[in-house]
Amino acid sequence: MSIKERLNFDQDPVYLIDGTALLYRAFYARADLSRSDGFPTNAINTVMRVLMNLIRDEKPSHVAFLMDGKGKTFRNDLYEEYKANRPAMPEPLAQQIEPVQQGVELLGLKLMVSDGVEADDCICALAQKYKAERPVIILASDKDLKQCLDDNVVMVSQHGRKETIYTLEGFREKEGMEPTTWPDFQALIGDSADNIPGIPKVGPVTARKIFAETGPTLEDLRENYTRLPEKLREKVEPELDNVFTYRELTRMKADCCDVPLDDFALNPVDADALLAFLEEYELRSLKRIVPAPTSKVTAAPSTKKAGKPATADGMLSLFGDAAPAPKKDTAPLEATETDMVGDLPSLAGEDIGLTFEDGAFYIGFEGKEYRYTGPIPDLIRALEHTSIIATPSLQELLRLDEGWDYILSSQWFDLSLAAYLLDPEARNYSWDRLRQSIFQDGRSEFADAAESLHPQAKGTAALAYMRGIENQIRQAHLGKLMGDLEQPLIPALVSMEKAGIGVDLDAFKDFLDDVAGQLSALTRSIIKHAGEEFNIRSSQQLASVLFDKLEIKAGAKTSTGQRSTANQVLEKIRDAHPIVEDILEYRMLEKLRSTYLEPLPKLVDDASRLHTHFNQLATATGRLSSSKPNLQNIPIRGKYGPRMRSCFTATQGNLLAAADYSQIELRVLAHFSKDPELLDAFRNDEDIHTRTAALIMDKTADEVQDDERRNAKTINFGLIYGMGVQKLARELKIKQTEAKEFTERYFEKLATLKKYYESVVKDAEEHGFVTTLAGRRRLLPELHSRNNMQASEARRQAVNTVIQGTAADIIKMAMVAAHKDKKLKELGARIILQVHDELIIEAPEATIVEAGKRLMEIMQGAADLDVPLKVDMGIGKNWAEAH
């Protein structure tokens, strides 16, 4: 369904595209596409595909593609430091500007390059001009353009695979102001992306408080600022003149463009010239979606206004295609059904595709496809001398029959794994989606296959997908990661899944009975405090009891405007009334009951073992996750963590050994940053948190108090996850000014760390991605977003991915080594569980000590860092004792 249909427009809109923003997003969305002579084509490819999708899906009559011109604008005259912090455009991107502009015009779109103003100014001016004649759809992501929203003007923004439609009604509801006062609001909070200072220490929440007191404009603020509380007045008064300049920097210049609407009518596509263009830049897959010849279109004016978007399954995706209908003249697929291996041709030395669908195996090669329903061991023997086997999921094959592990790891090419490594945030790596992408992806690598592949192809489709993606794996330098680590890990994961972990059903029942009794007592206490019976699980009824009847001051509100009763809100008012403490305890016990104590015993097999599924393709950092059930979120600490873990046991005659990497992420940080303090502490096996606290407090290690060590631990780990001053203040229960001073002292004493963090972000901004120790890659296109929150989150993800992703690499290396280790096998030991930085093995009582020591050796030698890897190990009858 088109945007026009979803917004219930009854007339063709005019589409205004922020071409510069699209160009940048296209460049960083895929950083490894180039022509055979090395000329970069990633931005050209994506921009052209987006525009061709737009023409096909929206069938627009009027489109403008607007780009920033070279040189300064009027804003630089107003404020010399405007955008002074912006890095220079990467040369590979600059090389693609002219081809992109050429491609835009070949598609019949109006190209406008602004002069003295920004493309956003022209977009705003044109939206103001045309909104009375017809609907206007702005395709952009810059928050400043929200000031253009009107009854007949909407904005569509795409971030990754998430599409957001901004309407006037939605803006008013969310922001509580009119679009016309958006520049006033932005002037107060500033914009670090454009180097606009704003008022120091004034964020969105404070800005709303200020305008609530003074009125919604800067003129109101200047006239009424004396009404503000003293602390706010002290912040605002010195900036009263400056904020007017900041507003001019964020306010769109709505009188800069006066172009007749007819100039934006879509021109006919010159198909021959467009095809020659695509051939010149080797974008052959785009030839399939070249728009049909068009003619200029005019339409009658409309008074239809933009309402709420209609719900629909189909959405305009700025980075995707819809699959074309299968060709009616496709030749029948040549296929043979066989139940005997002898009927298969010799496959020695061949590259084949292998899928398992509807109870049968499909083997594809040389354009032919064979359906096999015979014994799996016979098929395995028939394939053991193949060169490469492309399959959608090796893990699924091994779950079906572990005999597939007989084939060498180097012979497999796991298609879902390859797709994940190239784009670890796509989330969906199912074979259905991957097979469709051969037709719809827009990548030149799939062009030949898409032309010749039968729509019903199975095994041959797997081989075609491998042919399309293997070069991308090479170009992205992901071959070693895939071949040496991720694929060899799959048999280890399936072995762990099949082994499972023992469960003490009696211990679970006793625990459940205790929790049920405590929940009953807490329910009575909560009802007594409330003075009435109510549904404790109902957030609405709970809010009424807390904030109306008991008159506790409400905290935050939900996105729908309701008073929040979320745990983080209740934590802040824990001391306001005894009922709050009871509710928090009730919720914690209820989660134990509903998530673990009741469901898990129902999932064990006949041997009382619980089996999880390990997910290799679930996280952007490379961390493993588990599901059905999730055993990685079993409580570790707290009042009930040890008891929960004690319910997981070894079988009769066996014991468990749990080996846990000690502070692996901080050791990885020390390795990458080369910070002398961190390196020295880990090399001398010192307590890193005590060492850090001593540095910050200018004390010796012996003088450091427990609370000082806890604070140092919080900031040590918090920085890896991008913790800011506000969150640090909350965690340490101190004022923000104190948290800021604490952070400044930290970076002063550990100066190398700050330089390292900055270098990671700078490198990511330059290349569009970050890499881990093993070469894992994560694309971060939002680093260049004009949305401060998105750019800030991407910077946090850059550092977090390098550190967490490398820690994930290391434990995977250890798992592969341990799974293959002959000594562990001789000792009767097997890995049964992996939880974050911990591996758990089960072995006979007689050999468990030696097996545990061997596991420690493997883990400590998994990677060669500048600091030693340290592993803590314990042995016990159950997980709690071993941990």
pLDDT of 332 > 70? The answer is no
User: What letter represents residue 22's amino acid?
Assistant: L
Contact in structure between 21 and 786 (CB atoms under 8 Å)? yes
Mean pLDDT of 166-190: 89
- Both 472 and 510 in one domain: the answer is no
CB atoms closer than 10 angstroms to residue 503: 20
Instruction: Tell me: pLDDT of 301 over 70.
Output: no
Q: How far apart are CA 641 and CA 657, in angstroms?
A: 18
Residues with Cβ within 8 Å of 231's Cβ and at least 6 positions away in sequence, in order, are none
| Mean pLDDT on 195-224 | 87
Note whether 460 and 364 are same-domain residues.
yes
Residue 285, Ramachandran bin (φ over 0: left; ψ between -120 and 50: alpha; else beta): alpha
More confident residue, 609 or 212: 609
Average of per-residue pLDDT across 850-860:
97
Q: Are strands 335-338 and 368-372 parallel, antiparallel or unpaired?
A: parallel
Asked if residue 396 lies in contact with residue 490, where contact means CB atoms within 8 angstroms, the answer is no
pLDDT for position 670: 93
314 pLDDT exceeds 80? Answer: no
Q: Which of 460, 478, 496 finishes a domain?
A: 478
| pLDDT for 820 beyond 90 | yes
- Which residues, at least 6 apart from 316, have a Cβ–Cβ distance to it below 8 Å? 2, 3, 53, 54, 57, 58, 156, 163
Question: What is the pLDDT at residue 426?
Answer: 83
The pLDDT of residue 644: 94
Q: What is the mean pLDDT of residues 30-56?
A: 85
Tell me which of 161 and 641 has the higher pLDDT: 641
Secondary structure (3-state) at 808:
helix
CA distance 270 to 540: 60
Angstrom CA distances, 245 to 61, 79, 123, stand at 39, 8, 22
Least confident of 59-68, 340-349, 406-415: 340-349
pLDDT in tens, 525-534: 999 999 999 9
CA distance 687 to 713: 10
Phi and psi at residue 164, to the nearest 5°: -125, 130
Mean pLDDT, residues 94-103: 93
Measured between alpha carbons, how far is 476 from 373 in angstroms, rounded to an integer? 38
Residues in a beta bridge with 165? 156
- Locate the DSSP E strands across 584-728: 609-610, 613-615, 625-627, 648-649, 654-661
Q: How far apart are the C-alpha atoms of 4 and 151, rounded to whole Å? A: 14
Instruction: Say yes or no: 471 and 510 in one domain.
Output: no
Confidence of residue 804 (pLDDT cuts 50, 70, 90): very high
Q: What is the pLDDT of residue 284?
A: 77
> Which one-letter DSSP state was computed for residue 318?
T
Question: What is the predicted pLDDT for the residue at 154?
Answer: 92
Q: Is residue 460 part of a domain?
A: yes
- Give φ, ψ of 649 to 5 degrees: -135, 165
Q: Are 412 and 391 in contact (CB under 8 A)?
A: yes
Q: Is residue 129 part of a domain?
A: yes
Helix/strand/coil for 322: coil
Report the DSSP pairing between strands 648-649 and 501-503: antiparallel
The answer to whether residue 849 sits within a structural domain is no
Does the pTM of the predicted model rise above 0.85? no
Mean pLDDT of the chain: 86
Percent helix / strand / coil, the chain, rounded to 5: 50, 15, 35
β-strand partners of 658: 840, 874
Q: Note the pLDDT of residue 443.
A: 57
Inform me whether the pLDDT recorded for 9 exceeds 80.
Answer: yes
CATH assignment at residue 73: 3.40.50.1010
- Quote the crossing angle between the two packed helices 725-732 and 736-749, to the nearest 10°: 110
Q: How confident is the model at residue 728 (pLDDT cuts 50, 70, 90)?
A: confident
pLDDT of residue 205: 84
Question: Are residues 266 and 377 both part of a single domain?
Answer: no
Please give the average per-residue pLDDT across 627-639, as a whole number.
Answer: 87
Same domain, 36 and 155: yes
How is 170-186 classified by DSSP, letter by letter?
Answer: HHHHHHSS-GGGHHHHH
**Dihedral sign, Cα of residue 40, residue 41, residue 42, residue 47:** positive
Question: How many CB atoms lie under 10 A from the CB of residue 331?
Answer: 9
Q: Read off the DSSP letter of residue 875.
A: E
Q: Residues 56-60: contacts with CB within 8 Å, 24+ apart?
A: 56/289, 56/291, 56/322, 57/2, 57/316, 57/322, 58/2, 58/3, 58/4, 58/15, 58/316, 59/2, 60/12, 60/13, 60/14, 60/15, 60/266
* DSSP label at residue 878: B
**CB proximity list for 42: less than 8 A, separation 6 or greater:** 26, 27, 29, 30, 31, 32, 33, 34, 96
Q: Decide which of 309 and 826 is more confident.
A: 826
Same domain, 255 and 369: no
Which of 755, 745, 740 lies closest to 669, judged by CA? Answer: 755
Whole-number pLDDT of residue 337: 46
pLDDT at 339: 43
Q: Is the peptide bond before 135 cis (omega within 30 degrees of 0)?
A: no
Report the distance separating Cα 544 and Cα 531, nearest Å.
12
Distances in Å between the alpha carbon of 852 and those of 495, 499, 845, 860?
Answer: 19, 18, 11, 12
Residue 114 confidence (pLDDT): 85
Task: Name residue 47's amino acid.
Answer: V
User: How high is the pLDDT of residue 292?
Assistant: 65
State residue 421's pLDDT score. 95
Percentage, residues of the chain above pLDDT 70: 91
Least confident of 301-305, 670-674, 680-684: 301-305
Q: What is the pLDDT of residue 583?
A: 94
pLDDT at position 331 is 39
What is the C-alpha separation between 383 and 389, in angstroms, rounded? 8
Same domain, 127 and 255: yes
Co-location of 339 and 441 in the same domain: yes
Pairwise CA distance, residues 112 & 127, whole Å? 14
More confident residue, 655 or 290: 655
Does residue 649 fall inside a structural domain? no
pLDDT of residue 555: 75
Q: What is the pLDDT of residue 841?
A: 97
Max mean pLDDT range (123-127, 654-658, 674-678): 654-658
Exposure string over 25-38, b if 16+ CB within 10 A, otherwise e: bbbbbbbbbbeeee
For residue 480, the model assigns a pLDDT of 93
Residue 440's pLDDT is what?
66
CATH number at residue 593: 1.20.1060.10
pLDDT at 274 over 80: yes
Contact (Cβ atoms closer than 8 angstroms) between residue 149 and residue 27: no
In a domain, 404, yes or no: yes
Domain-ending residue, one of 749, 766, 793: 749
Domain count for the chain, please give it: 4
User: 380 and 256 share a domain?
Assistant: no
Any domain includes 698: yes
The CA distance from 278 to 103, in Å, is: 9
Q: What is the four-CA torsion angle of 198, 201, 206, 212, rounded to 10 degrees?
A: -50
Of 427, 413, 423, the closest CA to residue 465 belongs to 413
Distance CA 398, CA 375 (A): 15
Q: Which helix (H) or strand (E) holds 49?
A: helix 42-58
272 shares a domain with 379: no
Domain termination residue (choose one: 478, 496, 525) = 478
* Residue with more model confidence, 86 or 762: 762
Average the pLDDT over each of 199-213, 222-236, 341-355 and give the range with the smallest value.
341-355
Going from the C-alpha of 539 to that of each of 562, 565, 568, the distances in angstroms are: 9, 6, 14
Neighbours of 360 (CB within 10 A): 15
Considering the domain architecture, whether residues 466 and 519 belong to the same structural domain is answered as no
Which residue did the predictor score with more confidence, 354 or 738?
354
What order of strands is seen across the sheet that includes strand 838-844? 830-835, 838-844, 654-661, 871-876
Compute the chain's Rg from CA coordinates: 31
Residue 537 lies in a domain: yes
CA distance 555 to 564: 7
Q: Are 858 and 672 in contact (CB under 8 A)?
A: no
Rounded CA separation 34/347 (Å): 34
pLDDT tens per residue across span 432-458: 999 888 876 555 567 666 666 777 789
Range of the domain at 103: 3-179+244-289
What does the pLDDT look like over 157-176, one tens digit per residue?
876 556 788 998 888 888 88
Percent of the chain at pLDDT > 90 equals 44
Q: Do 555 and 692 belong together in one domain?
A: no
In the DSSP assignment, the letter for residue 191 is B
Look at residues 168, 116, 165, 111 and name the one whose alpha carbon lies nearest to residue 140: 165
In degrees, rounded to 5, the angle at the alpha carbon of residue 473 between the alpha carbons of residues 398 and 159 is 100
Diameter of the chain measured on Cα atoms = 92
**Domain presence at residue 549:** yes
The CATH number given to whatever domain includes residue 459 is: 3.30.420.10
The CA distances from residue 55 to 44, 100, 318, in Å, are: 16, 16, 12
